[in-house]
Amino acid sequence: MMLKLPLSHSECLYSAITRHWQMMGAPNTYRYRELLGLPRRHRVHPFLTTHITKLAQTFGAEPNELLYKSTLFPVFRAVTPDGEKLERAMLGDGQPSPVILSRLPHVGRGSPFIIKCCPECVREEREQKGFAIWHLHHQIPGVTTCDKHPTLLNVNVLGDGGADRDFMTVPLLKAMQVKAASRRDIALAQSATYFLNECCTHIKTNCELSNCLHQQLSEYGFITASGYVRQGDLKKAIAKVFSLQPASEFNESQSVFYKACIIARKHYEYCTHPLAYATLLYTVASLEHPRSDQFSEVFTPKADVFPMVDLLSDARNGLSINQLCKKYARSKCFVTRQLDLNGIEHDTNSMATDSKVKDKILSLARRGISREKIVEETGTGLGIVDKLICNTPGLVERRKALRHKSKLAECAEKIAQVCEANPTLTRTQIRKLVESEYATLYKVDKKLLFALLPPAKRPSPIGRKKTIH
């Protein structure tokens, strides 16, 4: 016996099977599944339907036609690298599970077995045709709104236990809620429908999808010549298309807009939410002209005219190389080269320091004298002092040890002064007066600290009142 499947345009396979079951007089679902050639306890998935070859045989249809036009296979084939496995599983007996292959628990929220419908679409269909269907494009994970009506979709969970093996027909209108959707949600729904169409018509594999994406992104100037994504401009464009308040939504790590920016990067190979791809493709498709003026203005680097004449005249007026570097924000190398080229004398190369001066600098440095003081005493530059200290083995460590020692001595002296000035204070009170010095000595040299402090007082026993004489 050949059965006839009442499949409508943009209807999902689950919906057609459900209507067929209803037309047969809603028989016992176990017996009905046997009639279709499905396992007795099989659960028909709303958009990742399996056993498609078997169903096609039963209904005299073309398996690939059902797979490509009445399930979300085209979308998941494009967003996961496991497209071929998914195809085999859906045409065959559902092993391995398409729900797992498509990462549905990851991309969908809550149960992977939900089915959605738009109350406005249902009303229109019932008025025009007498029956309503579950639309395929409403089932794309993450879509919350009808793409034609500004209405939130009603979500139906396909139950637990035995209930999920029933066939759910489109509910009555009075059982549905009509709620207005935001502009952002409507745009997202439109992007999802657009993406589904693209996947059905020309994007076949994950590789093709990312190639297509990169080609379009670079056509619109979102990718630099060296292959980097202009994240800032991409964000702005997405925010414009989806009428977002930029910044706020992009910071959520779960946001599809945020993910869209990540997958725009080259060689991104991980499985991502279909809506992230939909967002990107739709954004690019919504831009009017490739490389429009608005972008070229942002992307053209401004011609950099360097005030060379000013630099040279400043140099002639006696500004030092360091001052020139600072003033014109250029490197020493750049400045000296320009002076050399223009025949302006400078003292960079006459800096070969006399060995006597060097010895003096080193001897001062060994005594732990600060760099600034050495500069003052020897009349040299800070650069040469720095260089000598760093290039002499062991000197940096020696100076560090000396600094440490002198710091400890300073701390000890300060504490001793405070103790002397306030002979009546207890240890705790002194600690509060010179907290940082106390802490330093406590950490490094406890013995010295306790020798400086007044003798410790024994704590008075708790609960006994002090008697004042």
Please report, as ranges, the residues that interact with Zn ion according to CB under 5 A: 118, 120-121, 146, 148-149
User: C-beta of 179: minimal distance to Zn ion in Å?
Assistant: 13
User: C-beta of 12: minimal distance to Zn ion in Å?
Assistant: 15
Instruction: Round to whole Å and give the CA distance between 217 and 268.
Output: 14
**What's the token pair of residue 427?**
């240890």
Q: Are residues 355 and 343 in contact, defined by beta-carbon separation less than 8 angstroms?
A: no
Q: Which is nearer to Zn ion, 11 or 437 (CB)?
A: 11
- Strands 154-157 and 114-117 turn out to be antiparallel
Q: Which is nearer to Zn ion, 55 or 121 (CB)?
A: 121
Helix ranges, 24-82 (H): 29-36, 52-59, 63-70, 73-79
Q: Are residues 96 and 227 in contact, defined by beta-carbon separation less than 8 angstroms?
A: no
Q: Which is nearer to Zn ion, 138 or 399 (CB)?
A: 138
Instruction: Round to whole Å and give the CA distance between 347 and 319.
Output: 11
Instruction: Round to whole Å and give the CA distance between 173 and 114.
Output: 18
Q: Is 246 exposed, middle or buried (0-12, 13-18, 19+ CB in 10 A)?
A: middle
User: C-beta of 119: minimal distance to Zn ion in Å?
Assistant: 8
Instruction: Round to whole Å and give the CA distance between 65 and 76.
Output: 16
Q: Quick one: angle between helices 355-366 and 382-391, nearest 10?
A: 70
Q: Which is nearer to Zn ion, 58 or 193 (CB)?
A: 193
User: C-beta of 256: minimal distance to Zn ion in Å?
Assistant: 21
User: C-beta of 118: minimal distance to Zn ion in Å?
Assistant: 3
Q: Which is nearer to Zn ion, 181 or 315 (CB)?
A: 181
User: C-beta of 146: minimal distance to Zn ion in Å?
Assistant: 3
DSSP-assigned letters across all residues of 390-441: HHSTTHHHHHHHHHHHHHHHHHHHHHHHHHHH-TT--HHHHHHHTHHHHHHH
Instruction: Round to whole Å and give the CA distance between 144 and 136.
Output: 13
Q: Are residues 364 and 377 in contact, defined by beta-carbon separation less than 8 angstroms?
A: yes
Q: Which is nearer to Zn ion, 103 or 149 (CB)?
A: 149
Helix, strand, coil % over all residues of the chain, rounded to 5:
55, 5, 40
Q: Which is nearer to Zn ion, 135 or 235 (CB)?
A: 135
Q: Are residues 148 and 121 in contact, defined by beta-carbon separation less than 8 angstroms?
A: yes
Q: Which is nearer to Zn ion, 94 or 119 (CB)?
A: 119
User: C-beta of 110: minimal distance to Zn ion in Å?
Assistant: 22
Q: Are residues 235 and 250 in contact, defined by beta-carbon separation less than 8 angstroms?
A: yes
Closest to 96 (Cα-Cα) out of 109, 106, 87, 105: 87
Q: How many CA atoms lie within 13 A of 145 on its CB side?
A: 18
Beta bridge partners of residue 229, listed in sequence order: 223
Q: Which is nearer to Zn ion, 170 or 374 (CB)?
A: 170
User: C-beta of 148: minimal distance to Zn ion in Å?
Assistant: 5
Q: Which is nearer to Zn ion, 55 or 118 (CB)?
A: 118
**What's the token pair of residue 291?**
């490389």
* The residue to which tokens 């497209």 are assigned: 83
User: C-beta of 180: minimal distance to Zn ion in Å?
Assistant: 13
Q: Which is nearer to Zn ion, 181 or 261 (CB)?
A: 181
User: C-beta of 295: minimal distance to Zn ion in Å?
Assistant: 34
Residues in the chain: 469
User: C-beta of 27: minimal distance to Zn ion in Å?
Assistant: 31
